[in-house]
Amino acid sequence: MLVGVLTALGVLGAIGLLVVLFLQRGRDGVDLSLGGLLRLYLYLASLAGVIAFAIGLAGIIAFVLAAAFGLDVVYGGQIQRPFPAIAPACAPNNTCPPFVTPLQPAIPDPRIRQQTDDLVRGVTFVIFGGVFWAAHWWARRTLSGAASGLHRAYLIVGTAIFGVATIAFLPMGIYQALSFAIAPPDQFTFRPGAGEALSGGLAALPLWLGYLWLVQRALRSAPPSSPTAA
C-alpha cells in the first residue's frame, strides 16, 4: 500500500508540476529549449529519488519497530492459547497405556520472513534512492542559468506529496499501535498491525518537514515582487 500511494502521489505531483510550469512558460517558468527540458527532467528525477528513499526508509523503520516492540504490533497476529491435551478414552476393564503427547512440527512464522524482506527492501531503496537523488542534484548544480520558478515548483510539489503521505499514514499508524496496546486481545480475531502505516508516516514526516523548511527559506530569500503598473 505504501509503495502504491507514494507512487500515485509522485505521478500526480509530476503532472501538476508540468501543468503549472507550462502555464507559466515565459513568466519565470520552464522553456522548451534543450537546457530547459534537461533541467525539468533533473527535477522530476530528483523527486523520484526522494520517493524511492522514503519507501526504503519506511522498510527500515518497520524492521526496527518489529525488533523493538514485537512482530504482533507491526505485522499483526492472532492470540494463540494452547488447549489442554485430552487423553484418549480406554475400553472398559482395560488398562490404559501411558499417554504420550505427539510432537507437533514447528511451523515457521511468516512474519519473520516479512520482517527480513522489509529490511532488504529498505536498505536497497535507501541506497538506490539516495544515489539517484545525489546524482541528479549534482547534475542540477552543474547546469548554468537560473531556474528559480522550476525550483520553487519542485519544492512545493515535494512538500505536498510528503505532507499528504504524512497525514494519510501517521495518524492511522498511531491509532493501530495504540489500539493493539490498549484494547484487550481476542483469541479468535486477527488484529492488523500498524507496521506499514506507522513506518510510512514516520518516513514521510521528516521529508515533509525538510521540504517545508526549504520552501520557507526560498520565500525568505526571494526578492519582493514589484507592483504592477496601472
- pLDDT given for residue 54 in this prediction: 92
Domain-located, residue 84: no
Domain-located, residue 53: yes
- pLDDT given for residue 49 in this prediction: 92
- pLDDT given for residue 213 in this prediction: 92
Locate 50 and state its grid cell.
526522494
Using CA atoms, how far apart are residues 121 and 129, in angstroms rounded to an integer?
12
Amino acid at 70: G
pTM of the predicted protein model: 0.74
Tally of structural domains, the chain: 1
Domain-located, residue 19: yes
- pLDDT given for residue 95 in this prediction: 61
Could you tell me the residue range of the domain that residue 169 belongs to? Answer: 2-24+31-78+111-184+191-218
Domain-located, residue 93: no
- pLDDT given for residue 226 in this prediction: 45
- pLDDT given for residue 123 in this prediction: 95
- pLDDT given for residue 50 in this prediction: 92
Amino acid at 60: I
Longest dimension (CA), the chain: 114
Burial class (CB in 10 A: 0-12, 13-18, 19+), 93: exposed
Domain-located, residue 129: yes
- pLDDT given for residue 192 in this prediction: 65
Domain-located, residue 10: yes
Domain-located, residue 146: yes
- pLDDT given for residue 227 in this prediction: 44
Average pLDDT across each block of 10 residues of the chain; the chain has 230 residues. List them in order.
Answer: 68 69 54 71 88 92 86 68 52 57 60 86 94 90 68 86 89 81 64 76 92 86 49
Domain-located, residue 95: no
Is residue 149 within 8 A of residue 29, CB to CB? The reply is yes
Q: Which residues pair with 191 in a beta bridge?
A: 77
Burial class (CB in 10 A: 0-12, 13-18, 19+), 228: exposed
Locate 213 and state its grid cell.
523548511
- pLDDT given for residue 96 in this prediction: 61
- pLDDT given for residue 67 in this prediction: 86
